[in-house]
A and B are shown apart, each in its own frame.
Chain A
Amino acid sequence: MRTIALVGNPNSGKTTLFNALTGSNQHVGNWPGVTVEKKEGKLNFKGKEYNIVDLPGTYSLGAFSEDEVIARDFILSGNPDVIIDVVDANNIERNLYLTTQLLEMGKKVVIALNMMDEAERKNIQFDIGKLSKKLGIPVIPTIASKGIGIEDIMQASIDMIYGDIGTGSPLQYNEIINHHIEYIENVLKDEKLPYPIRWTALKIVENDEEVLQKLEESDISDDSMRNIEDFFKYHSSENFELEIIDSRYAFAHRVTEGAVKRPQEESTTLTDRIDRIVTNKYLGVPIFAIIMFVVFQLTFEIGEEILGEAAVSLIENLGGLIQVFLIAIKAPNWFISFIIDGAINGVGAVIEFVPLITILYLLLGFLEDSGYMARAAYVWDNLMRRLGLQGRAFVSMIIGFGCNVPGIMSTRTLDNKKDRMITTLINPFMSCGAKLPIYSVFIAAFFPNHGGLILFSLYTLGIMIALIMAKVFSKTLFKGESSYLIMELPPYRMPTIKNVLRNMWDNIYGFLKRAGTTVFAVVTLVWVLAVLPASAEPYGQFTILGRMGTFLAPILMPAGFGNWQASVALFAGLPAKEAVVGTLGLLYAGEYAEEGSLLINSIQQHFTSLTALSYMVMTLLYTPCAAVLGTIKKETGSIKWTVFMALYTFAIGWIVAVMVFQIGSLLGFN
């Protein structure tokens, strides 16, 4: 099967084009060895199937970040048959910079000149024929969000696959650079290289660390290596890489000259007007707070009160039906107990929250696609800088609201190690979607009229603890300069329904999958431990689980929730946070319920408003789930940091929960 790779700048519409090409026929995995997402899909075009690979969105194909290295390695070694380069027509020069690097690699490239509708509105005119001729490759106008030009881009790609093209790049550098490239080419001409020779020579002149390292690892002769080292010694004071970047841009300008006409005066756009308000010195942060408040309020109101009720009664009715059925077929008692207490009360308690997280992911996805995130990074840059970080770190934190795993993975776009480490270490304090069920249960039990406010306060507490820890880390463990903010502020765009739904579905699918696998496994284990030994009363204090919980409970006593069920549930939440609610549902299942939700009734008996609060604070802050720890292990490559993460978050959670309870008690709350 032929492979087509998609490359392009961030915000060029690459994801939209990928979705338009593959529809629902896609799957997400990881690139080998790293946690970077790899999206692949299949497309049937004119009776043939094609494999479409979505590469990470980047501004360049240098060795600047992991994303860039992955994209470029795939282009060079994954041998895609053709590359579709998604170019944003609104700022074609900057996008063509990436194109020049593709041309340097000598690959078959087709340009999708995307966002043509926006460019037209801005009165930017294109001479497509001229562009294509100057670049030496096909240029196809597209509007990915409306599905316009999809056929054409596929046809052009296929023509390209089967057609003959010269691989010579039309790009010219200045004479000195050319001379150096030829010199290095000459040095390497008898070597067996991992990459094409001309490109390798260019990268060496550019002082590309990744390529140099690969060369050292390959079995290139010592002579050649010495020649290369001498070359660097001799030219150590010169900055060829910047000259090469200049030549690429010069080429981009030559290409657009006479082929792209911009209006003289740029008119003030809606984006400019919105930006004047949301990036305002005084309004910026309050507006951010309001937006987040609305997100949580809506999540709670719509998710819980409207959709949640339906889900709860569905699960409970289903549970009743299954119980009747099992009794009718005379299933053994232990089996009925397992299905009803374990599966229905445990896993079911988690599934009930699908409506809630659906709304959360819908809203977060909407925010992310709209372009607002970059503004949030902008308004927070000042404060973040004082904490030793930069504004973009804040975006990783907001992504963490959905799930800490992508939140931590997004720190890859931060340029320096210190920023990355700190942002990674504080991410778990950003409360993820999987913790939402825990809060909702406690809110329903004790604060039914202030759901949105409690949620907002918890999230705010999380942000505050994260910021404090950032300051602490940058003063102690990670001293040194932090990187500066360099960030594009894309125009605001109405997110397409398709993109938002797609993103939402991916998240819900993950949630359901965890409910069916990890949570189910944990709940099964908890159930087994909660009914053994047979001599003890099931779910009682003398079961194995009861004894474990009784052993752990004193640790949590100062925080007020020293009952063994609550302690066990916290630990059961380590594989996946949803299991906290699952476990509580299972353990309190043995109790009677008068009416309404069983779980909520039981919680009202075992907690007070104050201990409910300290329990929520504990779940907000304590050790992140196994998936997050795994991601930290992969991203930092260090067991030490992973263990540190697990322990210090537990300590922070414990301290703050204890403070909430003790201060609350002193003030006379209960």
Chain B
Amino acid sequence: MNISLCELRCGDAATVKRICAGGCATRRLYEMGFNTGAKIKVIKNDFGPVIVSLFGNKVAVGRGLAQKIMVDG
């Protein structure tokens, strides 16, 4: 089952499946490493942007955008 990145909790790990944002944002996410199959771990998800760990570095993603990143649950 695919769920959005927003639904993950702090400490959860997942794999990116699909991004359904607009062209520019999707491309930017891909280039930052959120491409298909990327393994991520949620570091912080309470208010504001979601912070995930990606290849060992932290990236903050705005909530609205995080909703459009589908990951395996």
Q: Is the CB of B33 within 8 A of A249?
A: yes
- Given the contacts A241-B27, A242-B26, A391-B49, A489 and B35 also touching, CB distance less than 8 Å: no
What does DSSP make chain B's interface, helix, strand, loop or mixed? Answer: mixed
Q: Is the CB of A390 within 8 A of B58?
A: no
Interface locus among A194-202, A377-385, A508-516: A377-385
22 contacts between A and B (CB under 8 A): A62-B31, A90-B57, A91-B54, A91-B56, A93-B55, A242-B30, A242-B36, A245-B31, A245-B35, A246-B30, A262-B56, A266-B56, A279-B44, A281-B46, A374-B60, A483-B25, A484-B21, A484-B65, A486-B62, A487-B59, A488-B57, A489-B59
Query: Interface residues of A toward B: which range?
Result: 35 or more
Give chain B's interface residues, CB within 8 Å of chain A: 21, 24-33, 35-38, 43-44, 46-49, 51, 53-62, 64-65
Question: For the complex, is A368 an interface residue (Cβ under 8 Å from B)?
Answer: no
Residue of A with least CB distance to B34:
A486
Tell me which of A97, A246, A385, A415 contacts B24 (CB under 8 A).
Answer: A415
- Given the contacts A279-B44, A391-B49, A381 and B62 also touching, CB distance less than 8 Å: yes
Apart from A281-B46, A488-B59: 16 A-B pairs, beta carbons within 8 A: A91-B55, A92-B55, A93-B55, A97-B33, A242-B26, A242-B36, A246-B37, A281-B48, A377-B60, A379-B48, A391-B48, A391-B62, A485-B61, A486-B28, A487-B49, A489-B60
Q: Is the CB of B49 within 8 A of A59?
A: no
Question: Which residues of chain B are near A378, meaning CB under 8 Å?
Answer: 48-49, 51, 60
Tell me which of B29, B57, B64, B65 contacts A94 (CB under 8 A).
Answer: B57
Question: For the complex, is A524 an interface residue (Cβ under 8 Å from B)?
Answer: no
Question: Which residues of chain B are near A275, meaning CB under 8 Å?
Answer: 44, 51, 58
Q: Is the CB of A94 within 8 A of B26?
A: no
What's the nearest-Cβ distance from chain B to residue A521, in Å? Answer: 45
Question: Which residues of chain B are near A281, meaning CB under 8 Å?
Answer: 46-48
- Residues 496-515 of A contacting B (Cβ, < 8 Å): none
- A488 and B31 CA atoms in complex are apart in Å by 12
Question: Which residues of chain A are near B26, meaning CB under 8 Å?
Answer: 242
Question: Which residues of chain A are near B31, meaning CB under 8 Å?
Answer: 59-60, 62, 64, 97, 245
What's the nearest-Cβ distance from chain B to residue A127, in Å? Answer: 18
What's the nearest-Cβ distance from chain B to residue A146, in Å? Answer: 21
Question: Which residues of chain B are near A490, meaning CB under 8 Å?
Answer: 57
What 5 A-B pairs come out closest when comparing CB atoms? A484-B65, A484-B62, A485-B62, A489-B58, A91-B57
Question: Which residues of chain A are near B47, meaning CB under 8 Å?
Answer: 281, 382
- A486 and B32 CA atoms in complex are apart in Å by 8
Question: Which residues of chain A are near B61, meaning CB under 8 Å?
Answer: 484-486
